[in-house]
Amino acid sequence: MKNRVVVNVALFRTEWDDLQLDVPAGSPGVFYIDNAGKARSEGGELELSVKPLTGLMLFGGLGLLKSEFRSDSLSGGRDVSGNDLPFAPNLTWHAGTEFEQKLCAKYTGFVRLEGVGSGRYYYDASNAESQDNYVLVNTRVGVGSRLWRVETWVNNLFDQDYVPIAFPYQLAQSGYVGENGAPRTVGVSLNRAF
């Protein structure tokens, strides 16, 4: 069995001199693009895939990130030096397993279970409001052949509440308006290769 263990590692560092951001213009829902100043983002990612037995795969990944505005950075006229960049969690991860079993000469069945997690991140440069840590669990069960595959799936199995994106909005009670993440979603997919 080839590729029993696959490891991918990436390290990065990005420096901005004139980072551009959408900044509230003072009227509800109106924004303008502004140069916020200097920022730095650095981190790394690790992905691992292991096949300990025929038909069984274990996989996972971890991302670490440190991102912040540097000194003398402004957003909407306010000093944001030292604040985290918006929508940049310090930690992301995923882990799961997939098992495939030959059912007969032409057909293979499979089961997949995975978790995807995100650390806390802020919605804008002020760092006034944030999305806390959350974990989504997804699963798939199906059968297929070389040419087609049918599967049933459930995303966000435990119906986790989260708000992946939000923006400042003066008329909202919290001062922000956001979009809820997708709730538990169930579906069936049919794929055909040509």
Give per-residue pLDDT as tens, 80-136: 999 999 999 999 999 999 999 999 989 999 999 999 999 999 998 999 999 999 999
pLDDT bin (cut points 50, 70, 90) of residue 31 is confident
pLDDT at 177: 85
27 pLDDT more than 70: no
The CA-based angle 40-45-51, given to 5 degrees, is 175
* 173, amino acid identity: Q
26 pLDDT more than 70: no
Which parts of the chain fold into alpha helices (H)?
none
**Residue 29 tokens, joined:** 């829902």
Percent of the chain with pLDDT strictly greater than 90:
71
> Would you identify the CATH topology of the domain 5-192?
Maltoporin; Chain A (2.40.170)
Average pLDDT, the chain: 92
Mean pLDDT calculated for residue range 15-42: 81
Residues 30/67, Cβ–Cβ less than 8 Å: no
Lowest mean pLDDT among 58-62, 101-105, 174-178: 174-178
Mean pLDDT calculated for residue range 7-24: 90
**How is the chain split into domains, by residue range?**
5-192
Say what the pTM is: 0.85
pLDDT bin (cut points 50, 70, 90) of residue 8 is very high
pLDDT at 137: 98
1 pLDDT more than 60: no
Residues 184/155, Cβ–Cβ less than 8 Å: yes
pLDDT at 74: 84
Gap between the Cα atoms of 60 and 194, Å rounded: 31
Return left, alpha or beta for 17; rule: phi > 0 is left, psi -120 to 50 is alpha, else beta: alpha
